[in-house]
């Protein structure tokens, strides 16, 4: 029955129910109370009759009552014929809504916060989904949580006369209330920050979950507690279990003669480490010597963690659960206890150490690899360099191991040149660092300078990682076997996102060639090479990064697009990455000629997925710590003015990076000098009164309006536009050369791993930033994270 027929009439009970159901079906997201429905339908029935109809529809399973005394179409009824089920991981947004990421499926499933059923970010869930009328994107609801990503949370302890609870803040202003026993508060006081373990996710009649307080952190507000909270809320424990610590302490410090006898002894070969100033876990070293036949031998020596961390041990189980060290601005949350990471396995100078090595024999003129060898070794570091110390030797031509460093730098440059010629992409982004006071207060924000010795180490780590993977691939091919192995893969970019990037580049006057993945890679490098001379192009770097797939661990080798390697793995950082420990074990078991060792492929793939998920959580934690310190740095600057550059445009405001300290904040459109409209593609905004346009890269003067440390948010107001840049050279050609989107082309540019797009608005909310971002002045990790 249409609304036109029922307008102004009083309907029979059955017809009223039908009219109400049709109205709710018109927009299955909307909620109405009986009075609103009477007005909407323009009928003369009473509110009570509408309520009775709704109650009956609810009993029939066609509508459901919401928690605000309204009614909404029931999904069970609405999508009974068209819904389906899938399993995936929750990707929570800032608003509290989520996307369910389904492996191998291009379409993430949007789930609003009210349909998450207490599922948290990273949880593995079963979801029922459908495609609503007049929409293209699937939506759904969580029907079961299959695996919890995080079980411990930091919250605020609230104490009442008859009960106590811990309140955990969630994205989008949502909160978890966790009931705890008053007799088990571990001395915690009202308003203390505590760690709570959730024991039962089924809400009681008061809407509370059940949990247990496992630690009391103390009064809210200190940087120490915030950093601990970031780690715990992302699923990382800040202490090691007692059995893990005991096992690490029991490991022998001395290397037995028997152990040396079964290894290649390289202690007499010139060897040294090059690390950040603050590093304590030196997990790689380089050696170099000239052979009698005139060729060069370079050794990449990696701490032999697998010698100490044995499968099935308490240490191994803990490392497999953590899978990675987490680097915040002011601390490291290590994968392994310090007894291993900073003592037994750290390649400290003037100490014999057990290592797993990749040794290469190179042609002295072309630096081509003539021979490679992998195996367990014993090494002795002659010198510990910082990056800056090694760079000074290269710059001045004076100092320890000058000849060795110069030769290694020459070889690294050859490797780098070859890599870029073959299509490797140089996504070198600014890394924000902090100078901190003893109490952790940020005193200065600066950009880390990337020097030659950084790239020297990176190139040799890339070489070792590539050659180890190639060895395993070639061994499997020679034996005509499938040998389960841990690869680090990187899919081709999402073609639709690349086209969007090309539109941005066109607006700046630069052309991109989109005819093939190889030409896209060349276009990336050509574009990014101009970033130093054109600040507008520099603004494109984050957009370019967001077009890329996320590198992941898997047993299925598809190559590494960003590095242009057919085979790639992670071998060089077993102190801080569990994937590398697995690689060492599998490689060692397959080194002997004719040997064949296979691990369970399904279990290994599941472990790869877990490691990739943990890596994403570690990246999130790192970024949260940087944002917190940036916000903390600006606390005393409310009311002050700064110069900045527009580095992002959104529906709700303009993002600005301050020139002086690289801190990012947002100007709401309410705090602009006039109303603005955002242009197509979010390339510019136009003033409604003046008609002036503001674009990414434009220089502005802003005033700090508010600094909210709790929300880690900096609000700004526009003072004046300093300079609106003319965008690059005149664009006389189309921005993108591309072939028609044939079936083959669509397959060639298949959508990559989810989570690569940062801040993309779909459905109900913007995702949390997932793209690579600048890192802080934290204790630094070693080697490339590629």
Structure confidence by residue, pLDDT tens digits, 87-140: 998 988 877 889 998 876 767 899 998 888 888 888 899 998 887 765 667 888
Q: What is the C-alpha to C-alpha distance for residues 32 and 706, in angstroms, rounded to an integer?
A: 37
Q: What is the C-alpha to C-alpha distance for residues 72 and 21, in angstroms, rounded to an integer?
A: 9
Q: Is the pTM higher than 0.85? A: no
Q: What is the C-alpha to C-alpha distance for residues 569 and 462, in angstroms, rounded to an integer?
A: 9
Task: Please give the pLDDT value at position 702.
Answer: 95
- % of the chain with per-residue pLDDT over 70: 87
Residue 785 has pLDDT above 80, yes or no: no
Helix-, strand-, coil-residue percentages of the chain, each rounded to 5: 30, 30, 40
Residue 24 has pLDDT above 90, yes or no: no
DSSP-assigned beta bridge partners for residue 126: 87, 144
Task: Please give the pLDDT value at position 736.
Answer: 42
**Dihedral of the alpha carbons of 224, 227, 232, 237, in degrees to the nearest 10:** -70
Q: What is the C-alpha to C-alpha distance for residues 135 and 582, in angstroms, rounded to an integer?
A: 45
Work out the mean pLDDT of the chain and round it to a whole number: 85
Say how many residues make up the chain. 786
| Residue 168 shares a structural domain with residue 303 | no
| Residue 351 shares a structural domain with residue 409 | yes
Task: Please give the pLDDT value at position 83.
Answer: 65
Residue 287 has pLDDT above 50, yes or no: yes
Which stretches of 284-401 are DSSP H helices? 305-308, 314-322, 338, 387-396
Domain assignment present for 376: yes
- Picking from 111, 130, 147, the residue at the C-terminal end of a domain is 147
Q: Cα 171 to chain center, whole Å?
A: 17
Residue 724 has pLDDT above 80, yes or no: no
Alpha-carbon distance values, 443 to 222, 440, 636 (Å): 16, 9, 12
The count of C-alpha atoms lying within 13 angstroms of the C-alpha of 760, restricted to the half-sphere facing its C-beta, is 19
Sheet of 369-380: strands edge to edge?
A: 264-265, 369-380, 352-362, 296-303, 284-290, 271-275, 383-386
At residue 199, φ and ψ (nearest 5 deg) are -95, -30
Residue 707 has pLDDT above 60, yes or no: yes
Secondary structure element (H or E) that encloses residue 434, with its range = strand 432-436
Domain assignment present for 418: yes
Q: Which residue has the tokens 């947002």?
A: 666
Domain assignment present for 710: no
Residue 739 pLDDT grade (very low, low, confident, very high; cuts 50, 70, 90): very low
DSSP-assigned beta bridge partners for residue 213: 196
What contacts 136, CB < 8 A, 6 or more positions away?
Answer: none
Task: Please give the pLDDT value at position 776.
Answer: 36
> Which tops the pLDDT comparison, 462 or 735?
462
> Which tops the pLDDT comparison, 173 or 382?
382
Domain assignment present for 512: no
**Closest CA relative to residue 471, chosen from 589, 577, 575, 388:** 589
Domain assignment present for 590: yes
Residue 495 has pLDDT above 50, yes or no: yes
| Highest-confidence segment of 144-153, 372-381, 420-429 | 372-381
| Residue 66 shares a structural domain with residue 87 | no
Q: Tell me if 216 sits within 8 A of 194, measured CB to CB.
A: yes
| Residue 329 shares a structural domain with residue 278 | yes
Q: Tell me if 708 sits within 8 A of 173, measured CB to CB.
A: no
Q: Tell me if 37 sits within 8 A of 50, measured CB to CB.
A: yes
| Residue 345 shares a structural domain with residue 394 | yes
Q: Tell me if 300 sits within 8 A of 330, measured CB to CB.
A: no
Here the CATH number for the domain that contains residue 24 is 1.10.10.10
The number of folded domains in the chain is 4
Least confident of 37-51, 518-532, 602-616, 708-722: 518-532
Q: Tell me if 578 sits within 8 A of 320, measured CB to CB.
A: yes
Q: Residue range 580-609: average pLDDT?
A: 94
| Highest-confidence segment of 169-173, 555-559, 737-741 | 555-559
Residue 2 pLDDT grade (very low, low, confident, very high; cuts 50, 70, 90): very low
SS3 annotation, 622-663 = HHHHHHHHHHHHCHHHCCCEEEEEEEEECCCEEEEEECCCCC
> Which tops the pLDDT comparison, 407 or 778?
407
Residue 735 has pLDDT above 90, yes or no: no
Residue 360 pLDDT grade (very low, low, confident, very high; cuts 50, 70, 90): very high
Task: Please give the pLDDT value at position 84.
Answer: 84
Q: Tell me if 100 sits within 8 A of 111, measured CB to CB.
A: yes
Domain assignment present for 601: yes
Q: Tell me if 520 sits within 8 A of 579, measured CB to CB.
A: no
Task: Dump strand ranges (E) for 529-568.
Answer: 552-554
Residue 747 has pLDDT above 60, yes or no: no
Residue 669 has pLDDT above 70, yes or no: yes
Domain assignment present for 328: yes
| Highest-confidence segment of 209-218, 386-395, 531-540, 728-737 | 386-395
Q: Tell me if 540 sits within 8 A of 716, measured CB to CB.
A: no
Residue 773 has pLDDT above 70, yes or no: no
> Which tops the pLDDT comparison, 583 or 66?
583
Q: Which two tokens stand for residue 340?
A: 């291993």
Least confident of 296-310, 416-430, 523-537, 733-747: 733-747
Residue 500 pLDDT grade (very low, low, confident, very high; cuts 50, 70, 90): confident
Residue 144 has pLDDT above 60, yes or no: yes
DSSP code per residue over 179-199: EE-GGGSTT--TTEEEEEEEE
- Picking from 73, 93, 113, the residue at the C-terminal end of a domain is 73
- The sign of the dihedral angle between the CA atoms of 483, 608, 426, 446 is negative
| Residue 128 shares a structural domain with residue 34 | no
Residue 39, number of CB atoms within 10 A of its CB: 11
Residue 196 belongs to domain spanning? 152-220
Q: Tell me if 546 sits within 8 A of 504, measured CB to CB.
A: no
| Residue 170 shares a structural domain with residue 276 | no
- The sign of the dihedral angle between the CA atoms of 406, 471, 555, 109 is positive
Q: Tell me if 590 sits within 8 A of 475, measured CB to CB.
A: yes
**Closest CA relative to residue 511, chosen from 331, 729, 255:** 729
Residue 602 has pLDDT above 80, yes or no: yes
| Residue 213 shares a structural domain with residue 351 | no
Q: What is the C-alpha to C-alpha distance for residues 651 and 765, in angstroms, rounded to an integer?
A: 12
Q: Which residue has the tokens 């993002």?
A: 655
Q: Residue range 704-717: average pLDDT?
A: 91
Q: Which residue has the tokens 């949880």?
A: 123
Here the CATH number for the domain that contains residue 126 is 2.40.50.140
Q: Which two tokens stand for residue 359?
A: 């040794």
DSSP SS3 for 579: helix
- Picking from 147, 177, 198, the residue at the C-terminal end of a domain is 147
| Residue 260 shares a structural domain with residue 408 | yes
Domain assignment present for 693: no
Q: What is the C-alpha to C-alpha distance for residues 359 and 314, in angstroms, rounded to an integer?
A: 32
| Residue 297 shares a structural domain with residue 398 | yes
Q: Residue range 396-417: average pLDDT?
A: 97
Q: What is the C-alpha to C-alpha distance for residues 225 and 709, in angstroms, rounded to an integer?
A: 13
| Residue 178 shares a structural domain with residue 248 | no
Q: What is the C-alpha to C-alpha distance for residues 172 and 191, in angstroms, rounded to an integer?
A: 21
| Residue 338 shares a structural domain with residue 460 | yes
Residue 712 pLDDT grade (very low, low, confident, very high; cuts 50, 70, 90): confident
Q: Which residue has the tokens 């690390």?
A: 275
Residue 526 has pLDDT above 90, yes or no: no
Task: Please give the pLDDT value at position 12.
Answer: 86
């Amino acid at each position: 029955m249409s609304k036109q027929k029922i307008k102004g009439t009083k309907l029979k009970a059955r017809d009223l129910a039908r009219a109400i159901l049709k109205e709710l079906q018109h927009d299955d997201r909307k909620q109405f109370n009986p009075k609103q429905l009477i007005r909407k339908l323009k009928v003369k029935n009473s509110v009570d009759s509408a309520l009775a109809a709704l109650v009956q529809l609810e009993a029939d399973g066609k509508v459901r009552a919401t928690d605000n005394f309204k009614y909404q179409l029931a999904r069970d009824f609405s999508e009974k014929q068209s819904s389906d089920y899938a399993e995936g991981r929750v990707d929570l947004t800032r608003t509290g809504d989520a996307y369910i990421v389904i492996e191998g499926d291009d379409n993430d499933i949007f789930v609003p916060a009210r349909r998450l059923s207490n599922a948290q970010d990273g949880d593995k869930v079963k979801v029922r989904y459908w495609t609503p009328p007049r929409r293209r994107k699937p939506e759904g609801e969580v029907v079961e949580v299959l695996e919890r990503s995080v079980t411990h949370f930091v919250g605020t302890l609230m104490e009442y006369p008859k009960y106590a609870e811990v309140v955990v803040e969630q994205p989008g202003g949502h909160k978890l209330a966790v009931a705890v026993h008053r007799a088990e508060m571990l001395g915690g006081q009202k308003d203390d920050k505590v760690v709570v373990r959730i024991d039962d996710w089924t809400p009681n009649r008061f809407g509370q979950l059940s949990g247990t307080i496992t630690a009391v952190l103390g009064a809210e507000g200190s940087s120490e507690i915030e950093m601990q909270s970031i780690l715990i809320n992302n699923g990382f424990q800040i202490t090691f279990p007692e059995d893990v610590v005991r096992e690490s302490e029991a490991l022998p410090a001395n290397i037995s003669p028997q152990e040396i006898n079964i290894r290649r002894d390289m202690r007499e070969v010139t060897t040294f480490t090059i690390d950040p100033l603050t590093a304590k876990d030196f997990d790689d070293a380089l050696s170099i010597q000239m052979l009698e036949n005139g060729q060069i031998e370079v050794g990449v020596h990696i701490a032999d963690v697998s010698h100490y961390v044995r499968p099935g041990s308490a240490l191994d189980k803990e490392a497999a659960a953590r899978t990675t060290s987490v680097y915040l601005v002011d601390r490291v949350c290590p994968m392994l206890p310090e007894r291993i990471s900073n003592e037994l396995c750290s390649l400290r100078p003037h100490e014999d150490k057990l290592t797993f090595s990749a040794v290469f024999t190179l042609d002295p003129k072309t630096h081509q690899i003539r021979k490679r060898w992998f195996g367990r070794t014993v090494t002795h570091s002659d010198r510990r360099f910082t990056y800056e110390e090694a760079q000074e030797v290269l710059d001045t031509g004076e100092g320890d191991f000058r000849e060795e460093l110069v030769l290694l730098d020459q070889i690294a440059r050859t490797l780098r040149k070859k890599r870029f010629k073959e299509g490797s992409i140089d996504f070198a982004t600014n890394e924000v660092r902090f100078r901190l006071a003893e109490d952790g207060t940020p005193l200065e924000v600066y950009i880390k300078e990337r020097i030659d010795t950084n790239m020297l180490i990176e190139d040799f780590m890339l070489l070792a990682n590539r050659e180890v993977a190639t060895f395993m691939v070639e061994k499997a091919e020679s034996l005509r076997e499938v040998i389960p192995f841990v690869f680090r893969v990187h899919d081709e970019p999402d073609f639709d996102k690349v086209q969007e990037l090309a539109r941005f580049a066109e607006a700046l006057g630069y052309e991109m060639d989109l005819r093939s993945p190889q030409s896209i890679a060349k276009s990336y490098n050509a574009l990014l090479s101009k970033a130093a001379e054109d600040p507008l192009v520099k603004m494109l770097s984050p957009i370019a990064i967001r077009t890329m797939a996320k590198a992941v661990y898997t047993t299925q080798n598809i190559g590494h697009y960003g590095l242009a390697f057919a085979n790639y793995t992670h071998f060089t950082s077993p102190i801080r990455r569990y994937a590398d420990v697995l690689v060492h074990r599998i490689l060692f078991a397959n080194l002997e000629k004719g040997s064949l060792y296979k691990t369970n492929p399904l279990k290994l793939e599941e472990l790869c997925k877990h490691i990739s998920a943990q890596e994403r959580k570690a990246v999130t934690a790192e970024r949260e710590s940087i944002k917190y310190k940036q916000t903390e740095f600006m606390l005393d600057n409310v009311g002050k003015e700064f110069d900045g550059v527009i580095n992002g445009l959104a529906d709700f405001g303009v993002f600005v990076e301050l020139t002086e300290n690289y801190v990012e904040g947002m100007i709401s459109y309410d705090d602009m000098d006039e109303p603005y409209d955002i242009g197509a593609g979010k390339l510019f905004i136009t003033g409604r009164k003046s008609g002036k346009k503001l674009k990414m890269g434009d220089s502005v003067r802003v005033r700090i309006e508010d600094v909210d440390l709790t929300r880690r948010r900096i609000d700004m107001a526009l003072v004046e536009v300093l300079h609106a840049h003319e965008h690059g050279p005149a664009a006389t050609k189309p921005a993108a050369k591309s072939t028609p989107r044939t079936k083959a082309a669509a397959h060639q540019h298949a959508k990559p791993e989810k989570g690569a797009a940062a801040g993309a608005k779909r459905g109900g909310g913007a995702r949390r930033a997932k793209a690579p971002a600048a890192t802080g002045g934290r204790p630094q990790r070693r080697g490339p994270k590629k």
